[in-house]
Amino acid sequence: GAALGLIIAIFSGVGASGLGLYVGGICGALITLTLLFVLNRKSGFQPERLLLTGVALTALMDGVQSFILAGGDPRSYQVLAWLSGSTYYVNSDSLYFIVIAAIVLSCVVLACARWLDILPLGTNEAMSIGINVQRVRFLLLSLVAVLTVVATLVVGPLSFVGLMAPHIARIAGFNHARSHMLAAGTVGMMLMLVSDWL
């Protein structure tokens, strides 16, 4: 969603400035998140259905994105550079933005660690101890979306970090939610830095 919003911002002229690109990316991500919520509200935001809906939305947006980029417009090179993912375009302004956003949002996510420890036990178990599962899943999904958009807008869609870092942290023995999130963040940061350096 952020990628499609960014493409629309660049091709419409709104993305002439860095702020315009961020606004386009955030709008695209918000529209995608709203679609995800609307399509999964009745199921109570079950993880399996969320994943399938996410895959379907990604396939749809990738098709639209490929159609736009196939036109051969010179502006598509800017989009392709961003889609390849790199820290090349990071400057001090975007650095301050992402550091502040990461600290604030990480503190909020760490405050949700108890929910993340309980939810894998199952819906019935979580409800039996007084957790409103649907509301909690909604809040966690919103936080994940915001964190993903913040990172994606600055360096591009680097999904390999998000796919590998949590698993490496889990294999390293960080099983509780709070320690797992901190370890995954650290591993992701190191993966990004080493990959970019190489």
Cβ atoms within 10 A of the Cβ of 138, count?
A: 16
Residue 183: pLDDT band (50, 70, 90) is very high
Residue 145: pLDDT band (50, 70, 90) is confident
Give the Cα separation of 56 and 62 in Å (integer).
10
Q: Which of 119, 127, 121 is nearest to 144 (CA)?
A: 119
DSSP secondary structure of 90-143: --HHHHHHHHHHHHHHHHHHHHTHHHHHHGGG-HHHHHHTT--HHHHHHHHHHH
pLDDT digits over 9-30, tens only?
Answer: 888 877 667 677 778 888 888 8
pLDDT digits over 50-92, tens only?
Answer: 889 888 988 888 888 888 778 777 777 777 777 777 777 677 7
pLDDT at residue 89, as a whole number: 67
pLDDT at residue 14, as a whole number: 76
pLDDT at residue 117, as a whole number: 87
Q: Global pTM? A: 0.76
Average pLDDT, the chain: 84
pLDDT at residue 186, as a whole number: 92
Q: Please report, for residues 13, 68, 149, the alpha-carbon distance to residue 8 in angstroms, rounded to integers and kept in the order given.
A: 8, 9, 16
